[in-house]
Amino acid sequence: MAQFEILTACRFYVELTLDGSTEGVDGIFLDCKGFKRNQQIIEAVEVTPQKWGVATRGQVVRTKLPGNVKSTNLTLRRGLTCSMTLWKWFDEVEKGHWGAQRRSGSLILYDQASKSQAHYNFRDAWPTGYTLTDLSASSTELEIEELELAVEDFVRVQ
């Protein structure tokens, strides 16, 4: 019987590969949402003649075929840091330099012994939104920075 461990969602980090970054780590995130990949369905419909019985109309036959594959946007959330890397990346895209700002990255899931168990790569990502949670001087909660990324593709590599 093969051994396996159920991976918990609380042990992961997202590593972004940002060319030209001067930061040692571009981001360690609290949340990562949107790792979803869909294959669209193409439905072919044809009408065939009814050769049996007394039918006066044809029979409708539907066939479902695989279509284009689509990856949804990723939303990354982390505690606000003094690093300007993510903001500068978003700012460059906002200024119209999005083609030169497409980056790749990884999502890595670890087991309880901190050994990598699942590795997903995404490619050609660029930030589509930047959000900072509401500020309150009386709050004791972390200030959260959120970045939404449009990704061309993501795949599991391990």
pLDDT value for 75:
93
Per-residue pLDDT band for 23 (boundaries 50, 70, 90) equals: low
Integer Cα distance of 122 and 37 in angstroms: 11
pLDDT at 5 over 70: no
| Dist. CA 110–CA 82, nearest whole Å | 27
The mean per-residue pLDDT over the stretch 4-9 comes to: 62
CB 127 within 8 A of CB 86: yes
pLDDT over 60 (residue 106): yes
Reported as half-sphere exposure (CB side, CA atoms, 13 A), residue 22 has a value of 3
Q: What is the pLDDT of residues 107-144, one digit of tens each?
A: 877 777 777 788 888 889 999 999 998 888 888 888 88
